[in-house]
Amino acid sequence: MAMPSKVRIFEVGARDGLQNEKQMVPSDIKVELIERLVDAGVRSIETGSFVSPKWVPQMADTADVMAKISRRDDVTYAVLTPNMKGYEGALASKADEIEIFSAASEMFNQRNINCSIAESLERFAPVTEAATAAGIPYRASISCALGSPFDGEEITPAAVADVAKKLYDMGAYEISLGDTIGVGTPLRTKAVIEAVAKVIPLEAVGVHFHDTYGQALANYLAALEMGVSRLDSSVAGLGGCPYAPGATGNVATEDVVYMLDGMGIDSGIDLKKLVRTAWFISDYLGRPPVSSVARALKGKLD
């Protein structure tokens, strides 16, 4: 299968990337991060989540962030909505789209949202029905699609495909396959995508890889070779997962864009502006980016 000539990068740094930071990041810094990403060419961006501040205090200001950002008609501003209360927050903030999520791991689902996979899908039904009625598009993600963080639990490609089909049938325009703990390898990636593409259209398949074992870019290449053109990534490699022991951050957007540029695949993103953005948020957090590209290009930005 031919690789795509163009991809859509869904930038998750402002939500998935920042949500687990121990130091509180002010709304104005989040807004500047989002504005810088948009200026760099990002056209699909996760701006926050409407979840209980008790569980994710870093996202308590999502409504404020949504109110302060400069909206552009050619940019999609998305928020995570785990329930109807979250959906109502998304509606009030005029989010362009919402996100729902489940997992291919029963144990992870219990740790993450305290219910089974089947129960999680039932919980999301009112949200998806309301979004459909309001004409708000929604995407869905599947955590642990390439492996479980818990010993003894096997995640089969067929199990991932089953969850993907159910989410797609609920009306999600995109199903993002998440390697939550970064254990996937290229052949495993291809096997899971192949299984999922048998039950939903390939153009609806997205991927979201963590770089715990240094395999993320190889896995993105494997996905591209399968024809996948929807990629999630996080500026500066921000993020991790509090419910997955040992999980480190998302793959850095600038590393992905550097690879795509070298392959002649259009992402629409200006690499130098993106690297400056990676250093902006990293400097605020008081640590260098984990991104190899951000560190390599730091002295070549001017």
What amino acid positions are annotated as catalytic residues? 241
User: At a CB cut-off of 8 Å and minimum separation 6, what does 259 contact?
Assistant: 217, 220, 221
User: At a CB cut-off of 8 Å and minimum separation 6, what does 145 contact?
Assistant: 104, 155, 160, 177, 178, 179, 180, 184, 192
Residue type, 243: Y
What is the spatial distance between Cα 166 and Cα 44, in angstroms, rounded to a whole number?
A: 24
Sign (positive or negative) of CA dihedral 174, 155, 214, 33: positive
What is the spatial distance between Cα 176 and Cα 179, in angstroms, rounded to a whole number?
A: 10
SS3 27: helix
The beta strands (E) that lie in the chain are given as: 8-11, 44-49, 76-80, 97-103, 138-143, 174-179, 205-209, 230-233
**What is the DSSP track for 97-132?**
EEEEEEES-HHHHHHHHSS-HHHHHHHHHHHHHHHH
